[in-house]
Structure 1
Amino acid sequence: MSLLNVRGLTKEFGDLTAVDDVSFDIEDGEFVSILGPSGSGKSTVLRMVAGFEEPTAGDIDLDGAGIVGSPPFERDVNMVFQNLALFPHLTVAENIGYGLKQSGVPADERRERTERMLEMVRLSGYGDRTPSELSGGEQQRVALARALVNEPALVLFDEPLSSLDRKLRQHMQTELQRIQAETDTTFLYVTHDQEVALAVSDRLVVLDEGRIQQIGTVEDLYEAPESRFVADFIGDVNAVEARVTDVGDDGVTVDAGTGPVSVPADAAGDVAVDDPVDVCVRPFQVGLADPPAAAGEGTFSSTGVVRNRSYQGSDSLYGVDTDAWGRISAEVRGGSFDIDDDVAVEWDAADVHVYRREERPEDGTEGA
Structure 2
Amino acid sequence: MEILKTMKLSIRAIALMACAGAAVFSTQTMASNDSFKLRLATVEGDKSSPIGKSMELWADLIKEKSGGRIKTNIYYQGELGSQQEMFDQLVKGNIDMMITWPQTSYDQRLGINNLPYLVLDWENALKAYGKDGWLRKAIDPIYNEVGLKYFGPYPEGFGGIATKDVQASTVDEARGIKIRSQTFFPLPQTVNALGYQAIPIDWNEVYTSLQTGVVDGDGSNVIYWDYEYFGDLLTHYTHTKHNFSAAALIMSQESWEELDEEDRRIIASAAEVVITKQFKDARAEEEKWIAKAQEGGMKYIDVQGTQLNDLVSRVREEIWPQAEKSFGPEVMETIRTNAPLPQ
Relative to total residues, which structure has the larger helix share, 1 or 2?
A: 2
> Normalization by structure 2: what TM-score?
0.26
Larger radius of gyration: 1
